[in-house]
Amino acid sequence: MKGNARHPIVEDDVVIYAGATILGRVTIGHGSTIGGNVWLTHSVPPNSHITQAQVRSELPPINIESKSSSFSRSEAHAS
């Protein structure tokens, strides 16, 4: 891996908020904003605003079956 570029390229006027994780050789375009707690693994065009809600909306839906708990909320507050 020696000699291979691995770090991201951050262009001018980019804001990266706390908790953002940028992985790999990606380019963050001029004037972009990366929100907190975002995992970024793809390049971002100039003047982009990436937030956690946008990243989640781009993911395919996950089919999760709901599991009923052994007691209801009303039973938990009754005791």
pLDDT tens for the chain, 79 residues long, are: 688 888 999 999 999 999 999 999 999 999 999 999 999 999 999 999 999 875 555 555 555 554 444 444 444 444 4
In a domain, 17, yes or no: yes
Decide: 11 and 30 in contact? Cβ < 8 Å. yes
Q: Could you give the C-alpha distances from 41 to 57, 60, 62, 74, in angstroms and in order?
A: 16, 16, 20, 43
Q: What angle do CA 10, 42, 8 make, to 5 degrees?
A: 30
In a domain, 11, yes or no: yes
Show the domain range for 38. 1-59
In a domain, 76, yes or no: no
CATH number at residue 30: 2.160.10.10
In a domain, 16, yes or no: yes
Number of domains in the chain: 1
